Amino acid sequence: MNGLLVLLIIVVLAILYWWLIISTEGVFLGRRMVVWLYDITAHKYDDIKEYTPEDEKILVVDPILALCQQTETALLDVGTGTGRVPYFLLQDGRFQGDIIALDASAKMLAHAEESLALHSPTHGVTLLHQDAVPLPFEDGRFDMVTSLETLEFLPDHKAALREMVRVLRPGGILLTTRRADWEAPLFLNRYHSKNGMIALLRAMGMIDVTVQPWLTTYNLVIARKPISVPQYSR
């Protein structure tokens, strides 16, 4: 009987560990835990993700270029990690504009700096060690805000989205992701169905909101800030 109880406790603890650390990457244990987990795994992040220029052209570069409404685009990447968005945009060479890429993990940013410097020593991308909330930029500063595979790991994803919307200029584009795999509902209040995501962004005043297939784990979410800005809910 005692043996069975011990086994049960071990199984419950193993499930809790898997849910809290592996699956949801520490998000229910607080911001510090998330950032620490990214700090200690930063050195193997790119190997785990196995980004290739061919895939990233289709997944990241082409959608961004298709949405750029002007040649000189001011782009903010929130939760840039090892610099996926700036790195592949620079490598492709067609993007013209300024990129500010921020992340709360210093180690992830160090890897971003390293790969950007290798690719182009005078890359002109500004990397910021900075939280997603609040964003240290004035209203309407950016033509485009990207935030890929990041929302569900933020302490308050709704506050983060509101900040992204705030710093977009009227007519600017938000490009983000919605977790869509079988583990997505394990993020509890951070999980949104497709319609839920559309409703959330519309409630923040965004228009032309679409949720498209992207990866097996994520949908791509695109939205536009209207030229005349309605009052969005805070």
Ligand X SMILES: C[S@@+](CC[C@H](N)C(=O)[O-])C[C@H]1O[C@@H](n2cnc3c(N)ncnc32)[C@H](O)[C@@H]1O
Q: Could you please report the per-residue DSSP string of 90-118?
A: HHH----EEEEEEES-HHHHHHHHHHHHH
Q: Which of 89, 154, 167, 186 binds ligand X (CB under 6 A)?
A: 154
Which residue do the tokens 């997603």 mark? 132
Which residue do the tokens 């993700």 mark? 49
The secondary element (H helix, E strand) that includes residue 203 is helix 194-203
Please state, as a whole number, how many other Cβ atoms lie within 10 Å of the Cβ of residue 190: 20
Q: Which is nearer to ligand X, 81 or 172 (CB)?
A: 81
Q: Which is nearer to ligand X, 11 or 40 (CB)?
A: 40
Which residues, listed in sequence order, are joined to residue 142 by a DSSP beta bridge?
168
Q: Which is nearer to ligand X, 122 or 182 (CB)?
A: 182
Q: Is 183 in the site for ligand X (CB under 6 A)?
A: no
Q: Is 148 in the site for ligand X (CB under 6 A)?
A: yes
Q: Is 145 in the site for ligand X (CB under 6 A)?
A: no
The size of the interface with ligand X (CB under 6 A), counted in residues, is: 20
Q: How far is the CB of 85 from ligand X (least distance, A)?
A: 7
Residue nearest to ligand X (CB): 81
Q: How far apart are CA 89 and CA 110, in angstroms?
A: 18
Residues that bind ligand X (CB under 6 A): 31, 34-35, 38, 79-81, 84, 103-105, 108, 131-132, 148-150, 153-155
